[in-house]
Amino acid sequence: MIQILFLFSLLVLSEAAVQDFCVGDLTGPESPAGYSCKKSDKVTVDDFVYSGLKMAGNTTNIISAAVTPAFSTQFPGLNGLGISMARLDLAPNGVIPMHTHPGASEVLVVVQGAILAGFVSSANDVYVKKLNKGDIMVFPQGLLHFQINARGIPSIAFVSFSSPLPGLQILDFALFANNLPSKLVEKTTFLDDATVKALKGVLGGTG
Amino acid sequence: MIQILFLFSLLVLSEAAVQDFCVGDLTGPESPAGYSCKKSDKVTVDDFVYSGLKMAGNTTNIISAAVTPAFSTQFPGLNGLGISMARLDLAPNGVIPMHTHPGASEVLVVVQGAILAGFVSSANDVYVKKLNKGDIMVFPQGLLHFQINARGIPSIAFVSFSSPLPGLQILDFALFANNLPSKLVEKTTFLDDATVKALKGVLGGTG
Amino acid sequence: MIQILFLFSLLVLSEAAVQDFCVGDLTGPESPAGYSCKKSDKVTVDDFVYSGLKMAGNTTNIISAAVTPAFSTQFPGLNGLGISMARLDLAPNGVIPMHTHPGASEVLVVVQGAILAGFVSSANDVYVKKLNKGDIMVFPQGLLHFQINARGIPSIAFVSFSSPLPGLQILDFALFANNLPSKLVEKTTFLDDATVKALKGVLGGTG
Amino acid sequence: MIQILFLFSLLVLSEAAVQDFCVGDLTGPESPAGYSCKKSDKVTVDDFVYSGLKMAGNTTNIISAAVTPAFSTQFPGLNGLGISMARLDLAPNGVIPMHTHPGASEVLVVVQGAILAGFVSSANDVYVKKLNKGDIMVFPQGLLHFQINARGIPSIAFVSFSSPLPGLQILDFALFANNLPSKLVEKTTFLDDATVKALKGVLGGTG
Amino acid sequence: MIQILFLFSLLVLSEAAVQDFCVGDLTGPESPAGYSCKKSDKVTVDDFVYSGLKMAGNTTNIISAAVTPAFSTQFPGLNGLGISMARLDLAPNGVIPMHTHPGASEVLVVVQGAILAGFVSSANDVYVKKLNKGDIMVFPQGLLHFQINARGIPSIAFVSFSSPLPGLQILDFALFANNLPSKLVEKTTFLDDATVKALKGVLGGTG
Amino acid sequence: MIQILFLFSLLVLSEAAVQDFCVGDLTGPESPAGYSCKKSDKVTVDDFVYSGLKMAGNTTNIISAAVTPAFSTQFPGLNGLGISMARLDLAPNGVIPMHTHPGASEVLVVVQGAILAGFVSSANDVYVKKLNKGDIMVFPQGLLHFQINARGIPSIAFVSFSSPLPGLQILDFALFANNLPSKLVEKTTFLDDATVKALKGVLGGTG
């Protein structure tokens, strides 16, 4: 009996360094593969659990909607594991505007209400569908897509991504919420000056 | 105006073959990367939407629970996109027994009730937590884990995987629901003959 | 001497099936990893050479520019090799409008003239620079970017991608050159009805 | 002659930072892709050679067997290279009990004696075979498998993995050699209380 | 009891298509990810076992050595699993000449005799070591390396690769055993005409 | 209006850590996935632009040619992005001698003059072609290849790689420009002593 315990401790020790997971240490150096790993003897079950999606996001805003991310930045237990989540809250008139995730595909499941969702492919084909509670839809990596409340009640969805850090590029923010000169926006989108300046005004852009 | 349309049609045509997605054709040859792609001119929005998780799974069984998969086999729109889902239904005494997903990490979100969930690492460390509605938990790839109803009401969770075909190896099925000879089970698990034979009886195993 | 030749033929034969490359057979089944492989005994050097980027693209159009792709669809020798190219031609007022490549990063080298190029990050930061002949610039995967002729002469660049099928989603085409209903465009972009309808008119969109 | 040496030194210098390999520095920060790289000017041939598999593991224990790993933790030269090894020693009654490698496929070659080996698939199919000296067998990623001495002499195998840190989760250790409460083990495995407590006793588990 | 069996059969059926493995069907279409998958109901344990490395390769040849591959072409069970093997036999004067594996790193274990092995890095640094029985050495992906018998007895090693189809480019065969014109060999290697022609003569090259 | 700005700032802040890119910090720890990331608030557009390929390399040397790399070591903006470039300059008699890139496929575009280029496969098949201005050619990963000026004027090409750090192993340097003992070179290449010593003399090798 002593012998087996002895062997087992050896085995267990030798395996103690095995990298089953790499809970992100946001204070350490980052690599192209993600955050540095927290020392494994400091890791507890709380590193693998996240409660930040429990509460509705604040939808008292112009889009009447909120995206609450649980990416590896918010939930470091996901670091290196190829997956992440977010919660979508859409008030009755809520819209998640056109956006992309540069580095991930997305699956959405409706858990309350109904959502009209769609994406556009590289071939410019349009895929739009009204999703009811329990329906799921997949949005292939990097393509423009959107979600709109499709029933007069608050709607909620959980979305999952094929990356712990999928990115989120909201089209209107990318074009109108920064210092990208109006002239460049106009030249590269065919929008007219008045439209660009109006939206820059609304979204806080300059230039 | 004619000119731009001409250029654009050229561009659009040349891009028509771009592989933004590869909806699975389950009748074609399979490769290590997944199913063959359905011809893109046959693809419609319905290939990207799945309603099979809408209804509760049947929990009138010994585990009082059900796993309903939306892997690329059931939902071919996921093929090649690095992600999939499943729905867990746990009746008041429901248990998803010890299992692994050989090729994927998993994120779980509780949408009704409460669930006690846990996993064991390669270093044999135990990570267990009671999850309430809205809590999420991640289970790193390939490790043994389980979910148990933690409140006296039907509980529901959606789980996502970092692969379109994550696999599902339920420990008791792998050991006791096939023709793996009892002697081999005993030798490789240290369980005694009576226990192995009893479980083989319950789970339909032979040998 | 006979002996070595004998051994060598054996070795060479056994290796003949090795998959150094997988020239695309566009008539065979596609997988998420790309096209089927052409039989290796039919492969010749011409499968690895492409002359389609030799000539300037036709820039007599509204953007005064042309993108000529050499993706695995046009140049099947690239299939499975993780890389592809394209040629950009920009007449004096030429613009490659805002676009993304959903599945690849891009490197651009200017070989004639000068180009003002830029991209916007997920954090909405803007990175813009005038590139002269011989300068190179990298555009990280999936982010909105553009190129504009920055000198009064025809400018040319070669761009390379980290995928044999990088995709190309031109923003204006995705929004205005298809049957995505105007109402959905407006709701998801904050553009007004007149702007959307005008651009749909120019770009051939309906709805 | 001077000129060529000059050019060559330039080339060699510019290439000196090329990352052909990344010998693990176990004292530096870890990333999801593995250990930090040892400075290349400190790397010697001894970083690429490991002698820890030379000697038989100690099999004087209850399983009459030993697993000696040469993973990147023991042999840092493997870091980042997608491969690792281990040595299996099985005394006449030796058994490597049911286990998985969460992140890797395995190939085994018998170099002495004979071994009965097997694995169970996600579909619960059983694949078992007696392997003689020189036979090789592959165990697909993440699936439960085992090895048993199949001849009355000490048997030896070398196993290789498709990852530098494949992990090793031994079923009985995961269930019975830690503080996972007996009740949870019972609920999630259908084993009875006496069996669980007996095995916890043998394997040093608590709870 | 009926109920559980009912649920279980459903589960098992739904999982039957899960892609734990993809045994190669060498008659089907190939993709960049490997061979097509054999239908899973035709797969038996013999697909996962290979006996072709049991016997010594024939070393009665000019290099007094033999490489016997167990790549996915010879052993289709490896297809898609990221690993393969080969056996090296070196007669007393045996040499495995300078070669590379274009798509894989390699680990070698000596099981009989002794071997002098080495590789050269991109920085032109040389890493050479005499390996005795039980020693292992890793050769990073794509670099030139060699193995030489280092003891006056037949020596044997098993080598594993981080790919099911690692490729094998033997330097002398690539230069002298084909129709690459002597002039091109000379221009690109700095070897003189007499040397090139002599080696072409020995190795069966033309041109 | 205040509200939307408030929501937007929250969103923007939460996204600020998103890893769209990982500009290399060459002073930080390296991982198998590349260099550490420069802090994102220090990143400017100049990190994504490189001018080092603007000028011709110095071809006044024995090969009458120069390779100027823009790998992540020279151009850290490429770190983690799966792509890199280099410039080839070939004086009228210029030759880029036989070489491999251990970790990447390559695409070449001729922008001035003409180049005779070729590679040899694992099956020892030869693929050679004269490329004129505008032609492109792909060299699959890890295979021996070369480029020779094919017209009596200085020729220039840009090459792209499917990795930010593709490596570059020049055959003659690997064999003759280091301290690999002549005897080992001879045994592993079948070259005679005089040839080896002469080339070692030219290329600065010892031993």
pLDDT in tens, F133-178: 999 999 999 999 999 999 999 999 999 999 999 999 999 999 999 9
Match 């989760």 to its residue by tokens: D169
Mean pLDDT of B126-145: 98
Q: If you average pLDDT over residues A74-93, what whole number do you get?
A: 97
| Residue with the larger pLDDT of the pair A17 and C31 | C31
- In angstroms, rounded to a whole number, what is the distance separating the alpha carbons of residues F185 and F178? 11
Q: What's the confidence (pLDDT) of residue F10? A: 44
pLDDT of C122 higher than 70: yes
What is the average per-residue pLDDT within A187-199?
97
Query: In this structure, are residues A100 and A106 in contact, taking their beta carbons and an 8 Å threshold?
Result: no
Measured between CB atoms, which of C95, C120, C140 is closest to A178? C120
Concatenate the DSSP letters of all residues of B63-132 into one string: TSEEEEEESTTT-GGGTTSS-EEEEEEE-TT-EEEEEE-TT--EEEEEEESEEEEEEE-TT--EEEEEEE
> Which residue from F3, F20, F22 is facing A60, i.e. has the nearest CB?
F3
Q: Are strands D106-112 and D136-139 parallel, antiparallel or unpaired?
A: antiparallel
Residue of chain E minimizing CA distance to B71: E18
Q: Which residue of F has its CA nearest to E196?
A: F191
pTM to 2 decimal places: 0.94
Residue range A124-129: mean pLDDT, rounded: 97
pLDDT at E19 over 90: no
Q: Report residue D170 as tokens.
A: 């031994």
Q: Which chain C residue is nearest to residue B81, measuring alpha carbons? A: C32
Q: Which chains touch B (3 or more CB pairs under 8 A)?
A: A, C, D, E
Q: Average of pLDDT values for B101-124?
A: 97
Quick one: pLDDT at residue B18? 54
Instruction: Select from C164, C162, C138, C158 the least CA-distant residue to C48.
Output: C164
Tell me which chains share at least 3 CB pairs under 8 Å with chain C: A, B, E, F
Checking if the pLDDT of C34 tops 80, the result is yes
Residue of D11, D41, D44 to mutate, interface with F, max F Cβ within 10 Å: D11
Say whether pLDDT at F76 is over 80: yes
Interchain contact, F100 vs E103, CB within 8 Å = no
Please judge whether F15 and A69 are an interchain contact, meaning their C-beta atoms are less than 8 angstroms apart: yes
- In chain E, the residue whose alpha carbon lies closest to the alpha carbon of F97 is E188
Which chain A residue shows the shortest CA-CA distance from D204? A5
Of B87, B109, F2, nearest to A88 by C-alpha is B109
Which pairing describes strands A95-100 and A84-90: parallel, antiparallel, or unpaired?
unpaired
Interface test with C, best of B11, B27, B37 (most C CBs within 10 A): B11
Query: SS3 of D143, please?
Result: coil
Neighbours of chain D (3+ CB pairs under 8 A): A, B, E, F
ipTM score of complex: 0.92
Q: In whole angstroms, how far apart are CA E92 and each of A99, C148, E60, E150, E156?
A: 66, 67, 11, 8, 11
**What region does B37 belong to: left with phi over 0, alpha with psi -120 to 50, or beta?**
beta
Contacts of A147 (CB under 8 A, 6+ apart): A88, A90, A95, A96, A108, A115, A116, A117, A157
Q: Which residues of E fall in the annotated binding site for oxalate?
A: 101, 106
Over chain D (207 residues), the average pLDDT of each successive run of 10 is: 48 53 96 95 97 97 95 97 98 97 96 98 96 98 98 97 96 97 97 96 92
CA distance A12 to chain B (A): 6
Query: CB–CB of E67/E168 below 8 Å?
Result: yes
Cα-based angle C11, C13, C16 (whole degrees, multiple of 5): 110
Beta-carbon-side half-sphere exposure of residue E85 (alpha carbons within 13 Å)? 29
Please tell me the predicted confidence (pLDDT) of residue F18.
54
Quick one: pLDDT at residue A19? 80
pLDDT digits (tens, 9 = 90+) for B59-100: 999 899 999 999 999 999 999 999 999 999 999 999 999 999
Taking residues B150-178, report their average pLDDT: 97
CB–CB contacts below 8 A, B to C: 78
CA–CA separation, F115 vs F119, rounded Å? Answer: 13
Measured in degrees and rounded to the nearest 5, phi and psi for residue A170 equal -85, 125
Strand order in the sheet with D84-90: D65-70, D84-90, D155-161, D106-112, D136-139, E49-50
* 3-class DSSP assignment, residue D165: coil
Phi and psi at residue E139, to the nearest 5°:
-120, 110
Q: Which of C55, C105, C121 sits opposite F81 (nearest CB)?
A: C105
How many other β-carbons are positioned within 10 Å of the β-carbon of residue B64?
Answer: 19
> In the sheet that A106-112 helps form, which strands lie side by side, from edge to edge?
A65-70, A84-90, A155-161, A106-112, A136-139, B49-50
CA distances from E139 to D33, D125, E106 (A): 19, 36, 5
Closest to E118 (Cα-Cα) out of E106, E103, E102: E106
Are F31 and A34 inside 8 Å of each other by CB?
A: no
Q: Quick one: tokens of C15? A: 């290796």
Tell me if F32 and D22 make a contact (CB, 8 A cut-off). yes
| CA A115/CA A156 separation, integer angstroms | 8
- Return the residue matching tokens 């052993």: E75
Say which DSSP state B31 is in.
B
Burial of B194 (0-12, 13-18, 19+ CB in 10 A): exposed
Q: Residues F3, A58: contact at Cβ < 8 Å?
A: no
- Smallest CA-to-CA distance from F5 within A207, A203, A94, C124 is with A203
In this prediction, residue B62 carries a pLDDT of: 86
d(CA E199, CA E177): 8
Alpha carbon distances (Å) from C81 to A113, A122, B88, F71: 45, 21, 40, 18
Sort out which chain A residues have CB atoms less than 8 A from C140's CB and list them: 102
pLDDT over 70 (residue A1): no
What average pLDDT does the structure give for chain B? 92
Q: Do chains D and F touch (3 or more CB pairs under 8 A)?
A: yes
CB contact under 8 A, A123 and B55: no
Q: Do chains E and D touch (3 or more CB pairs under 8 A)?
A: yes
Average pLDDT, integer, range B12-35: 80
E34 and C11: CB-CB below 8 Å? no
Average pLDDT (C178-205) is 96
Q: Evaluate if residue E8 carries a pLDDT over 70.
A: no
Q: What is the pLDDT of residue A62?
A: 86
C-alpha E67/C-alpha C171 separation (Å) is 54
- Is F81 in Cβ contact with C138 (below 8 Å)? yes
Q: Is F15 annotated as a binding residue?
A: no
Residue from D6, D9, D10, D15 whose CB has the most chain F CBs within 10 Å, to mutate: D15
Residue D23: both structure tokens together: 């010998």
Quick count: other Cβ atoms within 10 Å of Cβ F48?
25
Is the pLDDT reported for residue A6 higher than 50? no
Q: State mean pLDDT over F99-103.
A: 95
Q: Is the pLDDT of residue B149 over 70?
A: yes
pLDDT at C9 over 70: no
CA distance D203 to D128: 27
Q: What is the DSSP string of C20-44?
A: S---EETTS--BTTBSEEPPGGG--
Predicted local distance difference test score (pLDDT) of residue B17? 46
Answer whether F70's CB lies under 8 Å from F52's CB. yes
**Distance from B189 to chain C by nearest Cα, in Å?**
39
Amino acid making up residue C182:
S
